[in-house]
Amino acid sequence: MKGLLFVYAMTYGGSVVALFRPFYGVLIYLAFACLRPEYLWYWSVTPGNYSRIVALATLAGWAVAGFGNWKLGPARPILLTLLAYWAWIIVSALFAANQAVAWDYVVLHSKILGPVVVGMTLIHEVRQLQQIAWVIVACLGYLALQGNLDYLAGGTQVREYGFASMDNNSFCIAIVTGACVAFFLGLAETVWWRRLIAFAAAALMAHVPMFAASRGGMLGLIVAGGVSFVVLPKRPAFLAAWLLALIVGIRLAGPQVVERFSTIFASAEDRDDSAQSRLDLWADCWDVMLKHPVTGAGPDHWPLLASSYGWPPGKEAHSLWFNAGAELGFVGVGLLLGLYGLTSYKNWRLARDPRLDDPWLQTAGRMVITSLAAYCVSASFVALDALEVPYYVLLLGAGAVSVAARQPAHMAIHVEAEDAPLAEATAHSPVSSIP
């Protein structure tokens, strides 16, 4: 009953608020996308158009507000790359063999990418970035808590069934992406109880891939640990937090987890059927890419082609990148790689920028780099083209870069750099000596 009341309050109360404050509509939409209320509280929340109602109200409020601010400064290339990727999905759909499947894919991705674009144009202060981070952490942390409680009670829900039409690997990779946000959010928090909640959520999320036996999720955790060490300032407090997280991770991982993960690196003779099949699938996807190099075979078309390569009908590619290449061609996968690469690069510069007035922006840069690195590596083993969480981290990263460019100190340096040539020219001009 509490779940139903929460959904109704967020849907209808949030929609009214979104008409006047569309950014809050974006936050509610993100929360619903992470929580999947119809699955989480299936016994009380009946299937409905909850997200659609919030989205329509948000778009109406966004239109009334003048469609936001599209002058994103250094974050503008991220927005343009995202729009280009979205447009390329549509172009690929135009040439697809099965138009119904292709346009269903376009609609699905429009539901994901549209709110991200709207959110980028509405972010103008650090507080909004913090709100996005907390929505991600609170929602995924709650799902991780439920998964841990089920595991402690002897259940195997996540391992056997995953969550909300996602298998265990897909769900675990989403959770790992959120764990990175939670860890850095905990480091940045100054209020002790909020810091405790963030770190607790990170620990709960880190445990999920272990009891769910997700090798992709485990690999994502290892990548996150390495990248976070690189981007963290080498201060005693930060290093102590990183070391504590490492100890907790090792303690949570038992012998079965280590044995399961070690199969990734098995030789061809000892490799299990699951690992070997991925290599065979990637080879077949590469063949499709060579046959359809520009627009690909069409959005969501690899499962339709799988049987022609000897796989069961509907077989997934088990790699985000090979799946995108087979379905959208080299241009499509290039835009997707460019989107995550550009966002990571911009946030790398942000994390190392000493000119920022608000140090939270550097924290945002670190959490975005770590989250996207963990996702991009672990998604190499699962077809996760419709997973929302990494796009929301991307929204966080683009917003951080845009807000940082508006910081007074940052703008002052930028203005000084622009005015320096003019000042120098004026100083050497004969006119400058005239009163």
Q: What is the pLDDT of residues 247-260, one digit of tens each?
A: 777 766 655 555 55
Q: Which phi and psi (to 5°) does residue 166 adopt?
A: -95, 140
Most confident region among 109-123, 233-247, 305-319 by mean pLDDT: 109-123
Which range among 37-51, 116-130, 204-218, 248-262 shows the weakest confidence by mean pLDDT? 248-262
More confident residue, 315 or 354: 315
Task: Evaluate if residue 268 carries a pLDDT over 60.
Answer: no
3-state secondary structure of 69: coil
Q: How many CB atoms lie within 10 A of CB 193?
A: 8
State mean pLDDT over 179-189: 93
Q: Give the start-to-end residue ranges of the domains of the chain.
A: 1-67, 68-410
pLDDT digits (tens, 9 = 90+) for 160-179: 888 888 888 889 999 999 99
Instruction: Write out the two tokens for 24.
Output: 């809050």
pLDDT of residue 82: 97
Whole-number average pLDDT of the chain: 86
- Please report which confidence band the pLDDT of residue 234 belongs to, taking 50, 70 and 90 as the band edges: confident
Q: What is the pLDDT of residue 252?
A: 66
Sign of the dihedral defined by the CA atoms of residues 192, 194, 195, 196, in that order? positive
Residue 62 has pLDDT above 70, yes or no: yes
pTM given for the model: 0.88
Burial of 5 (0-12, 13-18, 19+ CB in 10 A): exposed
Average pLDDT over residues 70-83: 94
pLDDT value at 262 more than 70 = no
Over residues 188-197, the mean pLDDT reads 93
pLDDT tens-digit profile of 377-426?
999 888 888 899 999 999 999 999 999 988 765 554 443 444 444 334 43
End-to-end C-alpha distance for the chain, whole angstroms: 79
Residue 93 tokens, joined = 């759909």
Question: Is pLDDT above 90 for 337?
Answer: yes
